[in-house]
Homo-oligomer: A and B are copies of this chain.
């Protein structure tokens, strides 16, 4: 199809617990416009779906296009998704259980909609856009407020029997470790996510630990972000450096566990924390993974940081829409 023909463009949407992000893509996956809106999950599923539809329409309008020029929409939702029916089975951050997401969104947009788990979708974006050689087995780990994953096995996303596969964040790494939001203790997410780092910093400050972060943000560390950790480390804050190093160490161990188990060709790290602290974390992550992986398992294996940042999710949505409307 040439430019201007009906149904050429692809839309990718990243539906998160706090914000909705939509991007319009050409078939070759170049992004030509985006839109962003808050999620307002507390208003309920119908209202959120309405906001997703709006966000898609805004992004399309931003590109001076009309909805009829969109071939398909791919949406990543933060939870377990039945990809065949586009039903969200369970998405705790949205408060959703058993929501017919695809159906409801198609009704509002009048174009085909395809739904995936958000980390799976981000991994699709990374795989298609960043991994030129299209490895047979590739793992994505996304570290931000929480930790999620996407497993590409035999060149396809692995979802498993209950379509809940790829939940790397709740791999227990330290049975007697810190409490996790999921109720267990010592999950990867409770040890190495942004929230885990922030909690460790906050607890230490309460116990009298000195850190540049309190100079920067005040005693209550209000609105602390990953970038603040980076700034403090670069200004010589040894305490913050140590906390971040610890998170990198756990990340390396988690990766070694995954390499021992699945023997991927490449592990890609993404998410806001890695984006902000790549220089501080990646070397330690690599060294630790090599140190912990079983002999023979690391040969020829790459561990890299994604360059896509926030774009991975919407890019993956476009990949999904393109694949499903072929």
Contacts and interface: CB of A to CB of B under 8 A. Distances in A.
A63 interface: no
B262 A158 contact: yes
Given A168-B261, A295-B90, A250 B175 contact: yes
Contacts of A300: 161-162
Given A89-B296, A90-B295, A296-B90, A261 B176 contact: no
A251 to B, nearest CB: 12
A159 B260 contact: no
Contacts of A263: 159-165
A220 to B, nearest CB: 31
Nearest to A80: B296
Interface residues of A, number: 53
Contacts of A167: 260-261, 294, 297
A161 B264 contact: yes
Max count, chain B CB within 10 A of own CB: residue among A160, A174, A299: A160
Contact of A260 (B170, B264, B297): B170
A151 B257 CA distance: 15
A162 B265 CA distance: 8
Nearest to A266: B161
B80 A257 contact: no
Interface string A163-193: 1111110111111110000101010000000
A296 B164 contact: yes
A292 interface: yes
A247 B251 CA distance: 25
A256 interface: yes
A136 interface: yes
A260 B184 CA distance: 13
Given A135-B161, A137-B161, A262-B160, A253 B175 contact: yes
B153 A158 contact: yes
Given A154-B154, A175-B250, 4 more contacts: A80-B296, A162-B263, A162-B296, A166-B261
11 contacts: A90-B296, A149-B261, A153-B153, A153-B158, A162-B263, A162-B300, A167-B261, A170-B257, A172-B173, A173-B175, A174-B174
Interface of A: 80, 89-90, 92, 135-137, 149, 151, 153-154, 158-168, 170-177, 182, 184, 186, 250, 253, 256-258, 260-265, 292, 294-301
